[in-house]
Amino acid sequence: MRQIEVSGLSAWFGPKKVLHDASVTTEPGMVTAIIGPSGCGKSTLIRCINRMHEEVRGARVEGKVLFDGIDIYAPEVDPVEIRRRIGMVFQRPNPFPTMSIFDNAVAGLRLGGRLPKAELAERAERTLRAAGLWDEVKDQLGEPGAKLSGGQQQRLCIARALAVEPEVLLMDEPASALDPASTLRIEELVDELKEKYTVMIVTHNMQQAARVSDRTLFMLYGQVVEFGPTSKIFTRPDDRRTEDYVTGRFG
Amino acid sequence: MSETRRKFHVELEALEVDIQAMAELAEHAVGRAVEALVANDVAEAEAVIGADDAIDEMYVSVEQRILEALALQTPVASDLRLITAMLHINLHLERIGDMAVNIAKTYRSIRQLPSSRKILEQIQEMSDVVRPMIRTSLEAFGRRNLDLCLRLNEMDDPVDRLNLGMYQEVAALAGDPATLNWGLRMLLIARQLERVGDHAVDIGEQVGFLLTGEFREFTDASHPVHISPDVG
């Protein structure tokens, strides 16, 4: 469980600056929610934190992201290793459609080299348990992952992200494509995960941010407007713009 | 960007208008109940008792609408503070209405007994202090004015003093059992008026919470400044 310290971070897509001098420090064992209207830079911010942003053609980054004190943009740092240690879950469940549940769960592990069968089985069970899916799938591990419900598929993707033993988990609207029951299951899972992982979650659902996070970051037009304890952001935020956004006076 | 919760915010404004209207009714009821007593006007007392139904109906309506807004709109930040403040203010106003009724009923039960002009003047004086307190607390609410909230505590001091002074006045009636019987009821009425003042202070505290996000009691009931009734 590690600390992420973002300071003076700016990001561009080609000539367009989409993130302006953002700074935020996450605490280990805490869930940080990022809220703000569409296009405010939420996803860009978390994609900069595991060096996914640079994968887009013409995209670039300035500023610092320290991961446990190490600058992840330093020339000697391997972005693939960063992405292993800082995992990511996306908006739409994206299990590998032709792979079984078991193979999906350990897909990332296999990329890292061959492991004995028994160890793979043990790691699959551990990661599926961590994602709260084991009891539901333990008797159908050979079935295709695509056969699961949307909520189960998303938990399978979380299991896949956890299998490689990351220290930080970034979640980009992980429940926005799910029904209410699956959404609540994911939220419960986030609460369990924070004991082992530093979690950052981008969400459009403000009530979800209020329910799952310890700290909330509000962004607007690519800038960090306010960052503080979630209870404070939702009861008496300091900034008028935060107040207007969370109360729905604009959005 | 446009406002996205217009309907909800219109409802919050409507609730606030109703609370202000209810405050006017409650304050008026207190004034009329004391007038009935001082002028020995039983018809006025009956009118106060009858008029309380309107306050009660408003109370129930406001509370139901607030519960609905909490359930359906999940308010946050200043909206959350406003709605919880209104939930409390609503109850305080309903209680003030009940106190006016208590005063009217108490008067009705002893209207045939001999009275003391001096005590009636004191009761009138208390009413003349607590009614502006209700108005001030609601003005603080309407204008979102913290200074007005903080003034309430000071305004309440003479009420407490007058209430305690009543004990001496009533004790002085000891030689006249019929008037003493009347006087003992006046203690109850003074107590009701003192409570009306407390409710106004409590409303001010809610407005303070709305404005600052921090709840602070203006008076500390568990550590009061000691004033003995005997030395009034």
Cα separation, B104 vs B126, whole angstroms: 15
Residues belonging to chain B with any Cβ–Cβ distance to chain A shorter than 8 Å: 1-5, 8-9, 74-81, 212-213
The pTM assigned to this predicted structure is: 0.82
Is A248 close to B1, i.e. CB distance below 8 A?
no
The predicted pLDDT at position B216 comes to 84
Is A236 close to B78, i.e. CB distance below 8 A?
yes
Which chain B residue has the Cα nearest residue A233?
Answer: B77
The predicted pLDDT at position A6 comes to 97
Is A234 close to B78, i.e. CB distance below 8 A?
no
Q: Chunk chain B into consecutive blocks of 10 residues (it has 232) and report each block's average pLDDT, rounded to whole numbers.
A: 80 97 98 98 98 98 95 92 97 98 97 95 97 98 97 93 91 92 96 96 96 83 47 33
- The CA distance from B14 to the nearest CA of chain A, in Å, is 17
Q: What CA dihedral angle connects A179, A185, A191 and A194, to 10 degrees?
A: -90
* Owner of token pair 């209810």: B22
- The CA distance from A231 to the nearest CA of chain B, in Å, is 9
The predicted pLDDT at position A28 comes to 87
Which residues on chain A are in Cβ contact (under 8 Å) with B213? 235-236
Ranges of chain A with pLDDT below 70 = 1, 251
Among the partner-chain residues A207, A233, A249, the one whose CB lies closest to the CB of B74 is A207
Among the partner-chain residues A237, A250, A251, the one whose CB lies closest to the CB of B77 is A237
SS3 A9: strand
The predicted pLDDT at position A27 comes to 86
| A158 close to A187: Cβ distance less than 8 angstroms | no
Phi then psi for residue A72, to 5 deg, are -70, -15
Going along chain B, which residue ranges are E strands?
none
Which residues on chain A are in Cβ contact (under 8 Å) with B5? 247-249
How remote is the C-alpha of A232 from its chain's centroid?
23
The predicted pLDDT at position B156 comes to 93
- The CA distance from B3 to the nearest CA of chain A, in Å, is 4
Which chain A residue has the Cα nearest residue B79?
Answer: A247
Is A246 close to B1, i.e. CB distance below 8 A?
no
| B104 close to B45: Cβ distance less than 8 angstroms | yes
Which residues on chain A are in Cβ contact (under 8 Å) with B212? 236
- The CA distance from A40 to the nearest CA of chain B, in Å, is 13
Query: DSSP letter at B109?
Result: H
Is B4 close to A250, i.e. CB distance below 8 A?
yes
Residue A38, chain B, CB below 8 Å: the answer is no
The predicted pLDDT at position B217 comes to 82
Among the partner-chain residues A206, A247, A250, the one whose CB lies closest to the CB of B78 is A247
Is B5 close to A237, i.e. CB distance below 8 A?
no
| A160 close to A90: Cβ distance less than 8 angstroms | no
Where does residue A59 fall: left (phi above 0), alpha (psi -120 to 50 degrees), or beta otherwise?
beta
Q: What CA dihedral angle connects B22, B23, B25 and B30, to 10 degrees?
A: 140
- The CA distance from B2 to the nearest CA of chain A, in Å, is 5
The predicted pLDDT at position A182 comes to 86
Which residues on chain A are in Cβ contact (under 8 Å) with B75? 247
SS3 A198: strand
β A168-172/A86-89 pair status: parallel
| A51 close to A82: Cβ distance less than 8 angstroms | yes
Which own/partner pairs from B58-65 qualify as long-range (CB within 8 Å, at least 24 positions apart)? B58/B18, B58/B21, B58/B22, B58/B25, B59/B22, B59/B90, B59/B91, B59/B93, B59/B94, B59/B97, B61/B18, B62/B15, B62/B18, B62/B19, B62/B22, B62/B86, B62/B90, B63/B87, B63/B90, B63/B91, B65/B11, B65/B15
A&B contacts, CB < 8 Å: 45
Residue A218, chain B, CB below 8 Å: the answer is no
Sign of the CA dihedral A109, A111, A115, A118? positive
**Which of B11, B76, B212 to mutate to probe the A interface, most A CBs <10 Å?**
B76
